[in-house]
Each structure stands twice: as structure tokens, then as C-alpha cells.
Homo-oligomer: A and B are copies of this chain.
Amino acid sequence: MAKDFQQITLLLDFYGSMLTERQKSFLEYYYEDDLSLAEIAENEGITRQGVRDAIKRAEGQLFQMEERLGLAKRFAEVRKGLDEIDDAAQVIYESNMKTGLSRDINEAVVKIRVIANDLRE
């Protein structure tokens, strides 16, 4: 079972509240705490295959939610746009430092960058 950490962690952030507590715990042990299937099985007192099946099922649900709702994709687009805004703000900052030296511009650039970074989280 190949771990697709980044994708599962992202989907877990968006849709984790739609899983059962147990499903969520298993995914967290496996993807966030990086426990092995055997370790989770031992802690939970079930078989390794049982853990594997539970994780597979929970992952399937996350992917299905994303296929229906597409919110991770939507947020990924927002993040990309915010990166581009941040880059453009950097261009303004540098140009202003070289020539205009406007305090208004400088303050507005800082504001844009702070907001863009807050929204990325």
C-alpha cells in the first residue's frame, strides 16, 4: 500500500469530519503518526488485514467526496492564485524601493502580502 501522504492529509483536512471517529483515527495513525499497519493492528487488537481494509475504505470515501465536491481542487487553485499575487506584490515592492519610494505603496504591499499569506493557511 503506497502512502500518498500529501493528498490524503489534504483530503483528511477537508473531509475528515465526514468519517467515523475510528476511520479518522486509523488514517491519522497511518498518515500523520506514520505507524505501520502491524503497529496499528497491535494497538487496536485487530488483524493487520482488518486495519488495511479499514484504511482502504476510509481513503475511498475521501476520494469519493473530493470527486463529488472538488473542494481540495478549488482551494488548490486559490492557493496558486495567492502565490501569484504575492509574486506581483514583490515586484511592486522592489520597483518602489528602486524609484518611487512611496510610503503608501509600501504599506499597501505589506498589507497584500500579509493577507495573501494568511489566506494560504
A-to-B contact residues, CB < 8 Å? 14-15, 17-18, 68-69, 71, 74-75, 77-78, 81-82, 84-85, 88-89, 91-92, 95-96, 99-100, 102, 104-105, 108-109, 111-112, 115-116, 118-119
- Contacts A69-B17, A71-B71: A108 and B92 contacting too (C-beta < 8 A)? yes
Chain A contact surface mostly: helix
Q: Which of B15, B78, B85, B96 contacts A112 (CB 8 A)?
A: B85
Question: Are A95 and B104 in contact, with the CB atoms below 8 A?
Answer: yes
CA–CA, A69 to B18, complex, Å?
Answer: 8
Q: Which of B69, B109, B115 contacts A14 (CB 8 A)?
A: B69
